[in-house]
Structures are given as C-alpha cells and as structure tokens.
Structure 1
C-alpha cells in the first residue's frame, strides 16, 4: 500500500466521505449524500476543534477510506486523556484490502503520540463483522453502551 496516503480531510473530500458513510444498510437510513449542507457545517465545527482529527485515506487521487479521531481530556484514570475512533468507513472497492487495519493503526499511533492512555470505539450491535475486525486488532468488548435520541 505504498501508494496510500492518510491525510487530514479537506472540504473537497466531503462528497466521497458522505458517500462512504451512506454505503451500508445503517448508513443508507441516516445519511443524505444529496444534501451536503449539514456535513459542511459539521466539517467546519470539526476543523475548528483542536481535539478532532478527521482523516481520509487516498490512493491515486481517490478517497478510499475515512475515520474520525476525537481526543478527550478527562479527570478519571488520574486525569488521563483518551481517544475515541468514530466513523471508520472503507470504499466498497477497497474492503478486505487491509486498508481498515491501516486506518485504525494510524488512529492508535496518533493516540499514543498525543499521550492518550486508552483508545475506545463503539460499533452498532448489528455490525458483527466489524466486531470481529476490531477484536483482531486488539480491542475488547468491555462496556454496555446507551443512547438517547434528542
């Protein structure tokens, strides 16, 4: 994968990122690739937040993967900083190529560089293939998550 570059996302990457977010059964229900306005506003908020890293994987000028890394300073664990990996998506043509592993490993190394003591992520309960993927990368199912729509 020597032709692969992981770099900060740019506004011009939004159509490709949103298309990847929408390219599965869950994403198809909650994403709107035809209306990028809310994504542009969200991108601006992320760009203004020093604790956010939205990156893309690019090969041959084409965006083929993405993830968001959030750095969370905290008081627990003796004032430890942790990170949260979100929105890991790989273009359908690249799935199974090892790109997802490279992106997650990038996030883990970036977390180390930023002196995080813990990297965490969540995955929808229905994404059993993703669960096996994260376990292969050393993540452990450790908590029960709760959500409340607002």
Structure 2
C-alpha cells in the first residue's frame, strides 16, 4: 500500500535529515572515487541550500502521515535555459520502493511547469542502475555522457 504523503519546503531544521541521506547519494560511486570525501561534501552544499539558497532554487521534502521525512530533492531553476536541474533526490532506506521518489518527481514536474520550464535534467552515477531504471520509467532519456579523468 502506498503511504500517504505531503510535500513541504525544507527548513534549516532539515539539515540533519538531509545529511543522513548523503551516504545513499554516494553509495554507487565508482571505486576510484573517495566516498567519504564525497559524502562530507554534501554538508556545505545542503547548508547553503537551506540557509542561503540560490535564487530560483528549492529544497522540497516528502513527509509521511506522522510528519516523518521520507525523502527530499534539491532543485535549481535556470531561467535562460528554461530548465530545471535536479541536483539531488534521495529517499530513506525504509521508504525505498514505496512511491516516495515518484511522489517527489511529480512535485518536481509541477514545480518546473509553474516556472515555464521546457525540460528537467539530472545526473546520476552510471553504476546506480536502480536510479537509472527509475528515471527511465518516469520519462527521462539519456542525453549527455560524462567522462572523468582524475588528476591526482
């Protein structure tokens, strides 16, 4: 059964929740990436998004019936390109597979359309096959390929 959910704008009090999901955002990174460093990099990003957000950005939180946060998304609006970039989307391990990500994607689409967006873009790890499959099911198509060469 699908849980009942509500959507709200994030507040600075959501920082611990968002940080608790940072390891889920980096768990499928390739072995040559420093996962701990990547995860730690989310604190300043999330702190800025909550305390000093860029103009046109948003952090949206999906909550369950008891008010418990189930997932969130960090969005950036690019008015000159009329596009929205999904920087991050994560759900709790307990909520995985229960429709929270789809609920957030529907909210992202509404948010994007309300700004006159013509497209929504995101990036995910090539190795995150579960996320890639989900994004394809909700209508995303492959476009760019990013190749990385480390200069350590």
TM-score of the aligned structures, taking structure 1 as reference length:
0.81
Look up the match of 1:88. Answer: 89
User: How many residues are aligned here?
Assistant: 142
Matches within 5 A, 1:38-77: 39-46=46-53, 49-59=54-64, 60-74=66-80
SS in 2 for 1:31: helix
Q: Runs of 5+ in structure 2 lacking a partner?
A: 30-34
Q: Runs of 5+ in structure 1 lacking a partner?
A: 75-79
Distance 1:141 1:95 in 2: 23
Per mean C-alpha deviation after superposition, the further-off stretch among 122-131 and 15-24 is 15-24
Look up the match of 1:31. Answer: 39
CA RMSD of aligned residues (A): 2.7
Larger relative contact order (CA 8 Å, sep ≥ 6): 2
Q: 1:56 to 1:147 in 2, by over 3 A?
A: farther
- Compute the displacement of 1:16 (Å): 0.7
TM-score of the aligned structures, taking structure 2 as reference length:
0.80
